[in-house]
Structure 1
Amino acid sequence: MSTKADKQTVLVVDDTPENIDVLSGVLRAEYKVKAALNGERALKIANGDTKPDMILLDIMMPGIDGYEVCRQLKANPATAKIPIIFITAKSQEEDEQKGLELGAVDYITKPISPPIVLTRVHTQLALYDQSRLLEQKVRERTEELHETRLEIIRRLGRAAEFKDDETGLHVIRMSHYSRLIAEALDYSDDWTDLVFNAAPMHDIGKIGIPDKVLLKPGKLDDEEWELMRKHPEFGAAIIGEHRSDLMKMSKEIALSHHEKWDGSGYPYGLKEEDTPMSGQVVAIADVFDALTTERPYKKAWTVEDAVKLLDDNAGSHFDPNLIPLFHEVMPEILDIKGTYGESTFQGDEGAFSEND
């Protein structure tokens, strides 16, 4: 037998106390019953912290009638899915049709038959439970697919970096740096999340660059440099065309993170606001981390020297409006740099968590 804690809640709404008493008597053995004598009170209860699992709703009530209560409940995303059964003396076919068109799942005319009420309540609650369970499973599966997609993007980004960064930590650090700058812009949370999760793919096009060029310790000649400058387009081709906002952002960043504010960047020579903001944000994060990280072909710059270069190139290489934001988040950037330093980081579990 169900305990009081597991009983589902049925809200009975009727302006006649005797009708509430009858329905409560029918339901109380199997369900927790709440009552409202008018539409206003019913809406307040339904919108409370503990929402009813079902509503039995009279139509003819003073003030807000049952039809209007139903209409308002179905218009509110927080209550729209609560099943409603009209229980009313209005027995005309058009009355029932109107109630069902408003979103009710059933329509029972008075005087009621207790066994019929119990059966229909039980049936509709069972359907509601199945619907909620299915929605939960769909949510869980969608979240799982989303996480899988993110992990693939992160791994691909790190795979590209392994050609000239054996730890692959560059994409972790610069993704976090990008998120911090994006947050300082005060754009939407969704946009910030997209930048953070797409940033690892910024140099995926390096896969298309031969090792003899990518890993050359000396200065590239003109032909080699021309090939190196193609990696944003290679990256865009690898990512391809997708409806996914995440993949669109990944492609946008791959294509635009080497553009410069003054138009001297590549591949398209975009100038100022013509370069997507995502690419401008990632450009700062990418350059800062590249400068402050040791590579086989160069020593790491000090943070001070790297910041000075960014300052000196505000308005030429970098968006001059973003550099002050970079300074604002410098304490958090240094925390990330310390957490994911080449010599201190022990593993990648949670490396892309936004709670660092």
Structure 2
Amino acid sequence: MKVVIIDDTPVNLALMQALVARVENCETLTFSDPQQGLTHCMLEQPDLLIVDYMMPELDGIELIRRFREAHSNEDVPILMVTAAHEKTVRFDALESGATDFLTKPVDKNEFIPRARNMLRLRQHSLMLANRAEELAEAVRRATADIHERERETVTRLAKAAEFRDPETGSHIQRMAYFSAMIGRELQLDSAVCEMLLAAAPMHDVGKLGTPDAILLKPGRLTPDEFEIMKRHAAIGHEILKDSASPVLHMAAEIALTHHEKFDGSGYPQGLAGETIPLIGRIVAVADVFDALTSTRPYKRAWTLEDARGFLEQGRGTHFDPRCVDVFLGCWDEVLEIRARFQD
């Protein structure tokens, strides 16, 4: 345990240093200059600070007050040495943060037990702090495990939908990374962007409820067939809603809103503008762009330039203009994501 003694009188320093030496497992450092002593204690936290009251330039009360200003020093015990008649000083010292007092002349039979007891309190405080950190780390690990299982659930549900959908697994990876990229550029919190990356692949999970004859039809859908196809947004929301998981809660909102259009002509609710949740507007851009540039049983892949043109033409009608602008503004990253997750 590290003990610092600050007293402007060399005789007092020598006496208290000799007394502290009788306490087991202690290292003692002394300062006759109170400012130097305070500077050291602010840089190298002691386990016990012993300080005299009457010192030039910086008295013991002011030294304690400055030391306590650092939040990390709140639990360090401080023993102040004062004259027996200085009751007002003791009250002021308590207000400033002193833990205990000794009166002059210092009695070794009183000093040693008090120092030993205060160091024991310090040891227990450090043990509790270490235990608290261990528990916090255990909670962090448990939370990470829960998040990992949550991500696994999301991935497996997305794969279940993928088995019935002609879209590839690479599509859901690309559009998820596009979505997180847009969220980042819109200054969304990093935790929200991570959740968006995990939730976006669930956007079409409702296609589990779409008949194969419609889902896998190689040609253009009839108006009646398209009405049935549009139900997948509400079905996906129904599958995912009411979950305690924040990721699945976000995925439910994405499933319901990613086919809404900025001018109100989308489905299933006909929402417009900023009444469409931002995550739905983000995923709309990411999903449509990747769907256009991907091969499907019913169509060929569009060129990148044609897909860019479609986003630009739909800016303010189909798509949120801000989402289009930041997507196209990250074109190099778009190409990198496409190269990383090829079909």
Q: Which moved more, 1:173-182 or 1:231-240?
A: 231-240
Partner of 1:152: 153
Asked if structure 2 preserves the Cα contact closer than 8 Å seen for 1:253 and 1:282, the reply is yes
Q: Is the 8 A contact 2:77 2:99 kept in 1?
A: yes
Deviations 1:294-342 (A, max 9, x none): 1233222211111111112112111123222221111111111011101
Aligned to 1:5: none
In 1, Cα distance between equivalents of 2:281 and 2:190: 18
- The verdict on how the C-alpha distance between 1:15 and 1:277 changes in structure 2, with shifts beyond 3 A counting, is farther
Alignment of 1:134-145 (within 5 A): 134-145=135-146
Q: How is 1:81-92 mapped onto 2 (pairs within 5 angstroms)? A: 83-88=75-80
Match of 2:107 in 1: none
Structure 2, unpaired ranges of 5+: 54-58, 103-110
Q: Write the distance in 2 (CA, Å) between the matches of 1:297 and 1:193.
A: 33
For the pair shown, which has the larger CA radius of gyration, 1 or 2? 2
Give the distance between the partners of 2:205 and 2:7, measured in 1 at CA.
Answer: 67
Q: Which moved more, 1:247-256 or 1:261-270?
A: 247-256
* Cα distance in 2 for residues equivalent to 1:203 and 1:31: 66
State the Cα deviation string for residues 166-203 of structure 1 (Å, max 9, x = none): 74121111111112222222333333333223212222
Superposed, 1:264-343 pairs within 5 Å as 264-342=265-343
Q: Is the 8 A contact 1:260 1:318 kept in 2?
A: yes
Kindly indicate whether residue 191 of structure 2 is the aligned counterpart of residue 193 of structure 1.
no
Note the C-alpha offset of 1:251: 2.4
How far apart are the structure 1 equivalents of 2:119 and 2:41? Answer: 23
User: Is the CA contact 1:160–1:204 (under 8 Å) kept in the aligned structure 2?
Assistant: yes
Q: Is the Cα contact below 8 Å between 1:257 and 1:280 reproduced in 2?
A: yes
Tell me how far 1:235 sits from its aligned partner.
1.8
Give secondary structure in 2 for the equivalent of 1:321: helix
d(CA) in 1 for partners of 2:298, 2:153: 29
AA aligned opposite 2:39: R
Q: Which position in structure 2 is the counterpart of 1:45? A: 43
In 1, the alpha carbon distance for the partners of 2:41 and 2:179 equals 45
Q: What's the secondary structure of 1:140's corresponding residue?
A: helix
Separation (CA, whole Å) in 1 of partners of 2:288 and 2:19: 70
**Which deviates more from structure 2 when the two are superposed, residues 197-206 or residues 242-251?**
242-251
Of stretches 320-329 and 281-290 in structure 1, the one that deviates more from structure 2 is 320-329
CA contact (8 A) 2:261 2:272 kept: yes
CA distance in 2, matches of 1:236, 1:34: 69
Distance 1:115 1:28, change over 3 A: closer
- Tell me the SS of whatever aligns to 1:190: helix
What SS class does the counterpart of residue 87 from structure 1 fall into?
Answer: strand
Change (3 A) 1:326 1:63: same
Map 1:53-92 to 2 at 5 A. 54=47, 56=49, 61-62=59-60, 64=62, 66=64, 69-70=67-68, 72-74=69-71, 79=72, 83-88=75-80
Q: Which residue identity lines up with residue 125 of structure 1 in the other structure?
A: L
How many percent of aligned residue pairs carry the same amino acid?
Answer: 34
Gap change, CA 1:54 and 1:337, over 3 Å in 2:
farther
Cα distance change, pair 125–183 in 1 and its aligned pair in 2 (3 A): closer
TM-score (structure 1 length as normaliser): 0.74
Equivalent residue, structure 1, for 2:260: 259
Structure-2 residue corresponding to 1:246: 247
Q: 1:57 to 1:326 in 2, by over 3 A?
A: farther
Partners of 1:34 and 1:176 lie apart in 2 by 59
How many residues are paired up? 317
Q: Check conservation: 1:12, 1:33, Cα contact below 8 A.
A: yes
Residue 236 of structure 1 corresponds to: 237
Between stretches 21-30 and 277-286, larger displacement belongs to 21-30
Q: What is the Cα deviation at residue 66 of structure 1?
A: 3.4
1-structure distance, mates of 2:246, 2:52: 45
- One-letter amino acid matched to 1:230: R
Cα deviation 1:84-131 (Å, max 9, x = unaligned): 334345999xx89x97x99x9x95554342543443333333333222
Three-state SS of the structure 1 residue aligned to 2:332 is helix
Higher helix share: 2
Q: Counterpart of 2:77 in structure 1: which amino acid?
A: I
State which drifts further: 129-138 or 115-124: 115-124
Question: How much does 1:68 deviate?
Answer: 6.6
In structure 2, what is the equivalent of residue 171 of structure 1? 172
The Cα shift of 1:42 comes to 6.8
Paired residue type of 1:336? I
State whether residues 293 and 302 of structure 2, in contact with CA within 8 Å, keep that contact through their aligned partners in structure 1: yes
- Residue type of the alignment partner of 2:318: H
**How far is the alpha carbon of 1:67 from its aligned partner?**
5.8
RMSD (Å) for aligned C-alpha atoms: 3.7
Name the CA distance, whole Å, in 2 between partners of 1:313 and 1:282: 14
